Structure 1
Amino acid sequence: MYKLEDLLERLDYELIQGTIEAEVNTVVYDSRKAQKGCLFVAIKGAVADGHKFIEDVCKKGCKVVVVEDEVCVDDDVTVIKVDDTRYALACISAAYFGYPAEKLHVIGITGTKGKTTTTYMIKSILDNAGHKTGLIGTIESIIGDERIPSSNTTPESYTIHEYLRKMYDAGCDSVVMEVSSQGLMLNRTAGILFEIGIFTNISPDHIGPAEHKDFEEYLKCKSLLFKQCKVGFLNIDDDHYEDIVQGHRCSVETFGFSDAANIKASDVKLINEPGRLGVDFKVSGLVNCEIQLNLPGKFSVYNALAAVAVCRFFEIDEEVMKKSLLNAKAKGRIERVEVSNDFDLMIDYAHNAMSLKSILTTLREYQPKRLVCVFGCGGNRDKRRRYEMGEISGEFADFTIITSDNPRFEEPQDIIDDIKVGIKKTNGEYIEICDRKEAIAYAINNGKPGDVIVLAGKGHEDYQEIKGVKYPMDERVLIQEILSER
């Protein structure tokens, strides 16, 4: 049992009725999980308002409710009123799980692109250096040998503290976490003092009715990380670096190609050889060494520089760092799959116009004989994405194979027809093959020496969503099936 007084110790609140001496056995914010003796936090979500379910949770035996609005409950229910129940949930969850963030080295990474790859780079290095490192991110959360698929880049605060507690109990001393702008805006990381905060880059994204109202808000939310960390490592080359760092409350170190960077990259060499599509470069400044990556592109250099900064903070051996970076990869993020000695095949999560343009322009720098793009677009989403991605692929790829990708409740052919509207604005060659396995097989079976093929859109996803059902479909499995059938 937990004393309510202890769970509220770091929270400003008003006791409306009842007593802070009340005892609770668990904390819930989903009314469906309410039980006898619980504390319920009423969250105002995008779909439902928890305040509307107060009567239901009290009928189930809830003895404490934390609210923003006035509510009417029986006299034996304690009511705690706060300004922001999301912030309250973060503070209460931290107390409930014994403040696990304070027992770990917590590293937070924010930015539009690069968060996922950078988290895996850092985890790889720390693990190889003898640390036991947890991970919370877009693809999954990793707690020891347990891997939990993610639904949000940054989970709800209760889940974050639950995972941190499990990591500590499993013997972890560190955790690296993707920190989304939504996570910061919705106070999912409130109350956590990050030991390290990292900024990769920022560009217009996640702007719309259900996310950020405009780029200024998006920018402001990203910058919040540097008001709740001890040390900040930031990309000084980004056009909005000054905006991100404004009002920071941490010590700051920078990385980038600029001469002003504390950790500077130079002498970049793109490597395209059998079995390797990567990049080599020199590091100077606070760290001096040469780095090799089996990941392509300039943006991979930025991700690696962030990891190098963390290595310096942890005083990690240079050889351990270099070896770890050479082998680091994230599932579905410019992930190379071995299919032939004649051409390269990459899997990437690029699922909008911005990310597709980024991966295609990056691979174009390696001067492939042909750049082949296999992609589709999700159903029940903004149709403009289809036109834009079609136009991008037509412009930047030599050959496009339009296929299906999570059609949901739409007909796959209708989505393909929308993509064709965009691609027909260009001179890019294309074909349409609705079945994704057949599309991938066509790309592999018609691959030519010097080609680079990118399967875009699915990345780490291992399913295809059709008519409300998620059917198993992992592109890596499809590739192996195709190769075995040849």
Structure 2
Amino acid sequence: MKLSGLLAGLDHHILQGDPEATSITAGTTFDVDRVMPGALFVAVPGHEEGGPGAVAPALARGAAAVVVDGSCVLPAGPADVCVVRVPDTRTAAAVVASRYHGEPGRQMDMVAITGTNGKTSVSYMVESVLRISEGARTGVIGTAGSRIGDELIPMPRSVLSTPESPDLQYLLGCMRDRGVGSVVLEATSMGLLTHRVDRTFVDVGIFTNLSQDHLDDHGTMEKYRDAKLRLFQGLCRHAVVNADDPVGAGISAMMPGAVTTYALDTEADYRATDLTVDAEGTRFTLHHDGRTYPAAIPSPGRFSVANALATVAACHVLGHDLPGLVAALEKMPQIPGRFERFTTATGTSVIVDYAHSPDSLDKVLGTIRGFAPARVITVFGCGGDRDTTKRAEMGAIAGTHSDLCVLTSDNPRGEDPEGILDQVAPGIESTGTPFERFVDRRRAIGFALFEAGPQDVVLIAGKGSEPFQIIGDQLLPFSDMATAREIAGG
């Protein structure tokens, strides 16, 4: 594709070369190590694998063209290579990557989910109900990777739930070419703030909730909220929002006439009442447009019902049959790492959940306490190089809802693991709940399972379905569920 076509309509200045005579044949990338002859290299300031300092290596690897911003000092290079300056490389990258792949988002139903909690759960639910009710071929892009049904689409290892725009557009192109009709995407606050979701042509944007998290990235709750709200400022055609959340309730004013609401506690377009919760799931009555539908999901808790409402509302807005969607809810499989559970041979219930914020931990433990027949034992920690203000609060929440806490490492990253535990421990101590601490996560899980008796519930929180643990700069293989099953003997 000609570079001139990729740049059409963008604010840009040609520093050298001829965009009309330059063809991009090997994709777009921020990562200099992935530059091949014919590629377009976008020099994004601050990007670890690229940036302005990587322009010379990109040219040496055969880049057909380079996009830079005003901060870039160009090295000497081949005079025939086209160099383009733009006001913001991330904004430009989203446009050129989308165009290079033929704007694939326009050719599928696109659903994007944002909010502090529930993004992964809703993405799995949307895929499940469309597959179960209609046999639909649906793509999923998020925390657990990218897949079409059970088929993973291989990508370079990354911990980004929302991929960078060149990777995201590549994935969307792959999904379109493989006959996918709908795609559901987790849209994180940083993904939205850094323009990764731009030019994906979202049909339905879902807002789940907002609570404290990611203050290490955004600094304040106001900035965190505003990053989430970017999805509803021109990036989606229609919004499905949680009317029980104050932020969600305000989105209607941002998109008049294009908002559908769901709620448990307030009036909404889709509402749930008569909740009955046990260890196996939740039954409820769904209300929509003056009609009621008996419904059930294989996951306990009010938060799970809220996710189910968001799922049904979004799919119905896209034109799918409501009775079929509701019927499919009960047949959904367990979501990996989201209230995923098994029972040991000795009768202990083990639950693995991604809860890693104060709000999500409080909701998960509150749900467990509501049906647990005996003790609740909680294994958890807090991530390193992340918001430190929530650590003692999460300790207090765990202590309040548990009979025993086992404090351990989450993803310590570059921090001293013992130092993180030291910051969490005062919160548990304030509740008077007994606790043990083990930096080694496997040892912590083993201790909890050894201490648990029949009918006790062991919650392993914080990492969900993550297949690794981040220690220093290493991603070490580690699965909470696989570890718990191995220690429990199956």
Report the TM-score when normalising by structure 1.
0.89
- Give the match for residue 298 of structure 1: 302
Q: Tell me how far 1:431 sits from its aligned partner.
A: 2.6
Q: Cα–Cα, structure 1 residues 288 and 150, in superposed 2: closer, same or farther, change >3 Å?
A: farther
Q: Tell me how far 1:165 sits from its aligned partner.
A: 0.9
Q: Amino acid of the residue matched to residue 206 of structure 2?
A: I
Which one of the candidate residues 97, 115, 139 is aligned to 1:134?
139
Is contact 2:376-2:456 (8 Å) kept? yes
SS at match of 2:67: strand
SS at match of 2:272: strand
Q: Tell me how far 1:292 sits from its aligned partner.
A: 0.9
Aligned residue runs from structure 1 range 361-400, under 5 A:
361-366=366-371, 368-379=373-384, 384-400=389-405
Aligned residue runs from structure 1 range 9-408, under 5 A:
9-21=8-20, 22-26=22-26, 27-45=28-46, 50-69=51-70, 71-72=73-74, 73-74=76-77, 75-128=79-132, 129-144=134-149, 145-146=151-152, 148=154, 151-208=159-216, 211-226=217-232, 227-248=234-255, 251-272=258-279, 276=280, 278-286=281-289, 288-313=292-317, 314-316=319-321, 318-319=323-324, 321-340=326-345, 342-366=347-371, 368-379=373-384, 384-408=389-413
Is contact 1:105-1:173 (8 Å) kept? yes
Determine the C-alpha separation between the residues in 2 that align with 1:153 and 1:260.
32
Determine the C-alpha separation between the residues in 2 that align with 1:152 and 1:245.
29
Q: Cα–Cα, structure 1 residues 218 and 375, in superposed 2: closer, same or farther, change >3 Å?
A: closer
Determine the C-alpha separation between the residues in 2 that align with 1:384 and 1:296.
29
Q: Please, what is the CA RMSD of the aligned residues?
A: 2.7
Q: Cα–Cα, structure 1 residues 104 and 222, in superposed 2: closer, same or farther, change >3 Å?
A: same
- Give the match for residue 481 of structure 1: 486
Q: Amino acid of the residue matched to residue 55 of structure 2?
A: I
Is contact 1:139-1:150 (8 Å) kept? no
Is contact 2:137-2:181 (8 Å) kept? yes
Determine the C-alpha separation between the residues in 2 that align with 1:382 and 1:254.
31
Q: Amino acid of the residue matched to residue 218 of structure 1?
A: Y
Is contact 1:223-1:243 (8 Å) kept? no
Identity across aligned pairs (percent)? 36
SS at match of 2:436: strand
Q: Tell me how far 1:360 sits from its aligned partner.
A: 1.5
SS at match of 2:350: strand
Q: Cα–Cα, structure 1 residues 150 and 326, in superposed 2: closer, same or farther, change >3 Å?
A: farther
Is contact 1:232-1:250 (8 Å) kept? no
Q: Tell me how far 1:383 sits from its aligned partner.
A: 5.4
Determine the C-alpha separation between the residues in 1 that align with 2:255 and 2:61.
45
Is contact 1:31-1:56 (8 Å) kept? yes
Determine the C-alpha separation between the residues in 1 that align with 2:63 and 2:439.
51
Which one of the candidate residues 418, 442, 463 is aligned to 2:447?
442
Q: Amino acid of the residue matched to residue 225 of structure 1?
A: L
Q: Amino acid of the residue matched to residue 57 of structure 1?
A: A
Q: Cα–Cα, structure 1 residues 382 and 307, in superposed 2: closer, same or farther, change >3 Å?
A: closer
Is contact 2:103-2:199 (8 Å) kept? no
Q: Tell me how far 1:63 sits from its aligned partner.
A: 3.6
Q: Cα–Cα, structure 1 residues 311 and 242, in superposed 2: closer, same or farther, change >3 Å?
A: closer
Q: Cα–Cα, structure 1 residues 243 and 45, in superposed 2: closer, same or farther, change >3 Å?
A: farther
Report the TM-score when normalising by structure 2.
0.89
Q: Tell me how far 1:249 sits from its aligned partner.
A: 6.8
Is contact 1:270-1:279 (8 Å) kept? yes
Q: Tell me how far 1:185 sits from its aligned partner.
A: 1.1
Q: Cα–Cα, structure 1 residues 312 and 57, in superposed 2: closer, same or farther, change >3 Å?
A: closer
SS at match of 2:54: helix
SS at match of 1:365: helix
Q: Cα–Cα, structure 1 residues 36 and 250, in superposed 2: closer, same or farther, change >3 Å?
A: farther
Mean CA deviation greater in 144-153 or 99-108: 144-153
Q: Tell me how far 1:199 sits from its aligned partner.
A: 0.9
Q: Cα–Cα, structure 1 residues 397 and 258, in superposed 2: closer, same or farther, change >3 Å?
A: closer
Mean CA deviation greater in 82-91 or 27-36: 27-36
Is contact 2:297-2:331 (8 Å) kept? yes
Determine the C-alpha separation between the residues in 2 that align with 1:383 and 1:262.
38
SS at match of 2:215: coil
Determine the C-alpha separation between the residues in 2 that align with 1:213 and 1:382.
9
Q: Tell me how far 1:240 sits from its aligned partner.
A: 1.6
Q: Tell me how far 1:207 sits from its aligned partner.
A: 1.9
Q: Tell me how far 1:414 sits from its aligned partner.
A: 5.2
Q: Tell me how far 1:339 sits from its aligned partner.
A: 2.0
Determine the C-alpha separation between the residues in 2 that align with 1:44 and 1:59.
19
Mean CA deviation greater in 229-238 or 118-127: 229-238
Is contact 1:386-1:418 (8 Å) kept? yes
Q: Amino acid of the residue matched to residue 288 of structure 2?
A: G
Is contact 1:263-1:283 (8 Å) kept? yes
Is contact 2:241-2:249 (8 Å) kept? no
Determine the C-alpha separation between the residues in 2 that align with 1:361 and 1:64.
55
Determine the C-alpha separation between the residues in 2 that align with 1:380 and 1:105.
36
Determine the C-alpha separation between the residues in 2 that align with 1:474 and 1:196.
33
In structure 2, stretches of 5+ residues that fail to align are none
Q: Cα–Cα, structure 1 residues 192 and 281, in superposed 2: closer, same or farther, change >3 Å?
A: same
In structure 1, stretches of 5+ residues that fail to align are none
Mean CA deviation greater in 397-406 or 108-117: 397-406
SS at match of 1:337: strand
Q: Amino acid of the residue matched to residue 45 of structure 1?
A: G
Is contact 2:468-2:478 (8 Å) kept? yes
What's the CA shift string for 1:155-208, capped at 9, x where partnerless?
101111110111111221111111111111111111222111111111232223
